[in-house]
Structure 1
Amino acid sequence: MHYLSLTEFLRSGTAELARGPVALIFCEDDVEIPATLTHHLAAGFRRVLAFMPPDIALPDAVAQQVIRIDHDLARGDTLTDAVNRIIPQAAGQWLYYCYNTEFLFHPFCETRSIGEMLAFHTEERRAAMLTFVVDLYAGDLDAQPNAVSLDDAFLDRSGYYALAREDAANGWAPKDRQLDFYGGLRWRYEEHVPYARRKIDRVSLFRARDGLRLREDHTFSDEEYNTYSCRWHHNLTATICSFRTAKALKRNPGSTFEIQSFLWHNSERFDWSSRQLLDLGLMEPGQWF
């Protein structure tokens, strides 16, 4: 199915939102779009919506499995606005959003679907899940100048940290069960990354409801959605393994010539498994065993 705009989809295609979980994939360029869509289809999302510029071609085998919506981020069609327009139409359903060249991993994803995980998370009376955006990068930038390689991907095995999230409306006191997380390429190359974009936490999985709003900093208008766990025990978290920062650093004229390689002594080859991410502490299984 192909819709020429989000407005057209919201006018005649919202029946596709009746059964979740639903993935919203926002394509900024033409890099690894089929791989991104296929990964999330395999994860178990019942519907995958691909927001793409109209001039990007999509292989028929993938196009037949997704709902394509013409949406050009480069021309000002923002992700935040699109998600907020979809939320009231999908009330009660679990939604997920990411960009192309980003790949969601959840605990035990090799044998358990995204739907199974979210069913458990719902039973724990949670309506949102914290995800960490872990930077991936190609090991050989001469061979892959855009820093994207599925076969030669690396990540940082250390260098991640968290700071208290302060509440400006409450005398800058720390917010309850909320932290700002940092690390990866945004930390190592922070001089090239605007301050507001250095965080690696994102509430990417959430249950839609009327009145809920996504904010530009990837948090929600309901503060409970922004917490990393409930009050009585630790909850599940998930990871978005993303080439997006590496791609931007190599595309930006201000940083590309200063970076000959992203590899350092704490680089580790990514094996595309949830076990590796769990062992590195980059996501948590909570009470789900």
Structure 2
Amino acid sequence: MEHSNLTKFQALAPGELGKGPFAVLIAEDRVELASSLDHLHSLGFKGIIVVAPEEVEVPDAPADTTARQHIIRHPSRRPGVAVDVVNALIEKVPGQWIHYCYNGEFLFFPFCEDRTVGELVTWVMEERREAVLTYVIDLYAGDLTAHPNAVDLDSALLDSSGYYAETRRGGPEGDDVMDRQLNFYGGLRWRFEEHVAKPKRKIDRVGLFQAQPGLRLRDDHTLSNEELNTYTCPWHHSLSATICSFRVAKALRTNPGSRHDIPDFRWHKSVQFQWSSMQLMELGLMEPGQWF
């Protein structure tokens, strides 16, 4: 189903979209749009909403999928578009789970090769959790001469080290320690931080969560319910996930301010990405918690 603009999508009646889990894919351009969309279908999302301008052709859903695919025609590079669309979806599907990402991004969770996202969120709810914290792990091409936009699925690299966390503070004066919340950093945003605005250097994103009445996604990729921003529950380690993303590498290679300063993304901690949840767990970039 195609919606001519965001207003038309917002006019849908609650429940009209059916059951989830849902994925929102923001198509900023055509780069790896088809592969990102195929990946969401392979994970078992029941509804996929693609946000794309008129000039971006959106591939049809695979013939063997039962997922409902919606297209919202909307300027996808406009600031705040993810917030606007996700918050509109939250209002339509209370109680359902939502993931959001951009083209060139790929959600991985523990054992995702053999388990669906539906099985994942069922387990998380049994753990009395309503969100899964995701870490955005930068992917980049090893050969920027052959792949000038830094996007190459076949030989993608990632950083195997260099990730760290800082205490997150909030409150009226901005100096209250937030319970079980941290700001996470690393990857290309850390190594090339001089080219990345400070508010955009974090790599944590509440990328999978259960919609609730009144819940809002904020510009910094956190949610208005602070418990949903926590990395763990009080009683044991919680499952986490990753969003493996070419988005930062592509931006650094296409923006005039950084393009000529970065001849190569590789360093001594670069490793080949195996497109494997086990590799991500072994590198410590996500953990299964109690889910085995």
Choose between structure 1 and 2: higher helix proportion.
Answer: 1
Distance change in 2, residues 1:16/1:27 (3 Å): farther
Does structure 1 conserve the Cα–Cα contact (< 8 Å) formed by 2:15 and 2:92?
Answer: no
Q: How does 1:1-289 map to 2 (within 5 A)?
A: 1-12=1-12, 15=15, 17-60=17-60, 62=62, 66-75=69-78, 78-169=81-172, 172-289=175-292
Deviations, residues 148-190 of structure 1 (Å, cap 9, x unaligned)? 0111100000000000001242661321000000000000000
Q: Unaligned stretches of 5+ in structure 1?
A: none
In structure 2, how many angstroms separate the alpha carbons of the residues matched to 1:190 and 1:222? 29
Does structure 2 conserve the Cα–Cα contact (< 8 Å) formed by 1:17 and 1:90?
Answer: yes
Q: Unaligned stretches of 5+ in structure 2?
A: none
Does structure 1 conserve the Cα–Cα contact (< 8 Å) formed by 2:108 and 2:241?
Answer: yes
Deviations, residues 33-60 of structure 1 (Å, cap 9, x unaligned)? 0100000110010111111111112334
Structure 2 letter corresponding to 1:115: G
In structure 1, how many angstroms separate the alpha carbons of the residues matched to 2:190 and 2:138? 10
In structure 2, how many angstroms separate the alpha carbons of the residues matched to 1:17 and 1:150? 32
In structure 1, how many angstroms separate the alpha carbons of the residues matched to 2:156 and 2:16? 34
Root-mean-square deviation (CA), in Å?
Answer: 1.6
Structure 2 letter corresponding to 1:154: L
In structure 1, how many angstroms separate the alpha carbons of the residues matched to 2:13 and 2:251? 33
Structure 1 counterpart SS, 2:133: strand
Give the count of matched residue pairs: 289
Deviations, residues 251-286 of structure 1 (Å, cap 9, x unaligned)? 111111011110100000001000100000000100
How far did 1:76 drift? 5.0
How far did 1:14 drift? 5.3
Distance change in 2, residues 1:151/1:68 (3 Å): same
In structure 1, how many angstroms separate the alpha carbons of the residues matched to 2:109 and 2:200? 23
Structure 2 letter corresponding to 1:111: D
How far did 1:219 drift? 0.5
Structure 1 counterpart SS, 2:77: helix
In structure 1, how many angstroms separate the alpha carbons of the residues matched to 2:16 and 2:48? 9
Does structure 2 conserve the Cα–Cα contact (< 8 Å) formed by 1:138 and 1:154?
Answer: yes
Structure 2 counterpart SS, 1:150: coil
Structure 1 letter corresponding to 2:245: S
Distance change in 2, residues 1:283/1:74 (3 Å): same
How far did 1:140 drift? 0.6
In structure 1, how many angstroms separate the alpha carbons of the residues matched to 2:94 and 2:59? 31
Structure 2 letter corresponding to 1:195: K
The two structures have a TM-score, normalised by structure 2, of 0.95
Structure 1 letter corresponding to 2:7: T
Structure 2 letter corresponding to 1:108: F
Structure 2 counterpart SS, 1:73: coil
Structure 2 letter corresponding to 1:278: M
How much identity, in percent, do the aligned residues show?
55
How far did 1:239 drift? 0.3
Structure 1 letter corresponding to 2:95: G
Does structure 2 conserve the Cα–Cα contact (< 8 Å) formed by 1:3 and 1:68?
Answer: yes
Structure 1 letter corresponding to 2:52: M
How far did 1:83 drift? 1.1
How far did 1:12 drift? 3.8
In structure 2, how many angstroms separate the alpha carbons of the residues matched to 1:271 and 1:210? 39
In structure 2, how many angstroms separate the alpha carbons of the residues matched to 1:220 and 1:60? 31
In structure 2, how many angstroms separate the alpha carbons of the residues matched to 1:90 and 1:15? 6
